[in-house]
Amino acid sequence: MDLIPAPDRMERAEGFLDLGDGFGIEAGPGTEDAVRWLRTTLGAATGLALPPKKGSEYDVLHLSVRPGLDAEAYRLVIAPHGVHIQGGSPAGVFWGAQTLRQLLGPDAFRRAPLPGRTWRLPLTEIQDSPRFGWRGLMLDVARHFMPKDGVLRYLDLMAAHKLNVFHFHLTDDQGWRIEIEKYPRLTEVGSWRARTKFGHRASPLWDEKPHGGYYTQDDIREIVAYAAERHITVVPEIDVPGHSQAAIAAYPELGNTDVIDTSALSVWDTWGINPNVLAPTDNTLRFYEGVFEEVLELFPSEFIHVGGDECLKDQWRQSPTAQQRIRELGLKDEDELQAWFIGHFDTWLSARGRRLIGWDEILEGGLAPGATVSSWRGYAGGIAAARAGHDVVMCPEQQVYLDHRQDPGADEPVPIGYVRTLEDVYRFEPVPTELTPDEARHVLGTQANVWTEVMEDHARVDYQTFPRLAAFAEVAWSSLPAPDQRDFAGFERRMAAHYGRLDALGVAYRPPAGPRPWQRRPGVLGCPIQGPPPNR
């Protein structure tokens, strides 16, 4: 029973339960989402109607919420007469249903039943619960836009791996992807670029056709509702004060107009760290308050991500306006000016019952009182934040940035960064050993990040993300031993079955033997980094 992620405890008995047309569902209160998913998704794959069925112990799937369990924990019992799934909450029931699907075999991941296929479940008892409450995937749709259906597909892939936080990177220098009714030029102008660099920023190649797109507010509502039905929280990211050229191209007054002619800027068409950052003015603060007002209406998540990374401060150093603001506020330097900028939105969000989260650069110049840190530049930012009493999501670039290459081979498509193999990801440990138990409690969890500069379509996203996301999901969910003691050989054996599930789902993953011919990008310049990555 090759389950991924591995459950806490599993006991196998002899025999099977065969599922026939009479197999139905008895659903208790709070299990409605799981029932709907079972009938639409599992029902489509198996051809079983799964009708309501009450008062019978035979040929029935009993679903119930059991308050004695932890919120996302579940208990799954497959007996000769039927199946029981109990969850500590509706989410726990749903995760139990995901395990049930895996036990039915790879064909249960298809969208329609294969002719002549019969369905049976191994007699089993499983008790399971996640290690972390934050098990995330960040998807960058700003560099390369992913249409709505692709986003919904990734929510399904997350649910299949028991991931529960979708970090939605919606804005950057290369595109603004969310409709803001108060500021229509953000999408009219900011969502399209004239051309796109193909490969690393040093590549001489260009895709000369315009690229872009955005999600309407109704698209966002649909995405959020679709995620919620799968017990996934969508955390939006609106980048400030760096990574903002698309917004400045749409509204030039947002930039440092006393340093450059911001009216001449267009949506950026290449990659790297952009010097054009937001001006630290009251006008900019009011503008982004207007943006966040609409964002809060669309996203009910506790956390709102404000970026805060890679903000080059050269323009602020040259700007009389920025320097005047530093003097007025009694700040020491430009780092403290950024901390003031982030602190403003920490206070603003807190007043509205939300929590600010940002990349670990928000530590520079002093961390806002309520801020949570996404630790991406290794572990150091997370360690510093946790020791200071702030919550942390661990996502170190050297370990779980899935845009980094998977193999040192010359045929890897557009090789970026360090080699991070499936085994490397499986041996990733989110909680630094330097933290005391009290400090470690500030580690909310972990997430894998998918930056799409060199991923021009969903097949490239699939290739970089899978199969490594399966290893990451086990790290985030399962209670694994220390990294050097983990049974990677056993995980590989289970992956042999999991590849069949990914095939049935149509995932264009990297095969263990290397890229298929059409997955390669010969002649497209990447930026590989040689040697092992630093551990800290």
Q: Which of 363, 440, 485, 455 is nearest to 143 (CA)?
A: 455
Answer yes or no: 297 catalytic: no
Q: What is the DSSP letter of 262?
A: G
Biggest CA–CA distance in the chain, Å, is: 77
Measured in residues, the chain has a length of 536
Cross-strand bridge partners of residue 17: 121
| Alpha carbon distance 322, 281 (integer Å) | 8
The residue annotated as part of the active site, out of 2, 8, 107, 310, is 310
Q: Judge residue 248's burial from the number of C-beta atoms within 10 Å of its C-beta, 0-12 exposed, 13-18 middle, 19 or more buried.
A: buried
Q: What is the DSSP letter of 321?
A: H
Q: Are 61 and 52 in contact (CB under 8 A)?
A: no
| Alpha carbon distance 382, 77 (integer Å) | 39
The residue annotated as part of the active site, out of 172, 179, 364, 453, is 172
The residue annotated as part of the active site, out of 243, 344, 404, 442, is 243
CA torsion through residues 181, 185, 188, 194, sign: negative
**DSSP state string for 368-404:** -TT-EEEE-SSSHHHHHHHHTT--EEE--HHHHBTTS
Q: Are 100 and 62 in contact (CB under 8 A)?
A: no
Q: What is the DSSP letter of 59?
A: S
Cross-strand bridge partners of residue 363: none
Q: Are 134 and 446 in contact (CB under 8 A)?
A: yes
Cis bond before residue 517 (omega within 30° of 0) = no
Cross-strand bridge partners of residue 121: 17
Separation of first and last alpha carbons in the chain:
36
Answer yes or no: 173 catalytic: no
Owner of token pair 């139990």: 96
Residue 74: partners with Cβ closer than 8 Å, 6 or more residues away: 85, 86, 87, 88, 92, 93, 95, 96, 99, 126, 127, 128, 129
Q: Are 474 and 491 in contact (CB under 8 A)?
A: yes
| Alpha carbon distance 7, 11 (integer Å) | 11
CA torsion through residues 508, 513, 516, 519, sign: positive
Answer yes or no: 310 catalytic: yes
Q: Which of 220, 188, 194 is nearest to 207 (CA)?
A: 194
Q: Are 464 and 403 in contact (CB under 8 A)?
A: yes
Token output for 457 = 């379509």
Q: Are 326 and 313 in contact (CB under 8 A)?
A: no
Provide the 10 A C-beta neighbour count for residue 139: 23
Provide the 10 A C-beta neighbour count for residue 356: 24
Q: Among all residues, which ones are annotated catalytic?
A: 172, 243, 310
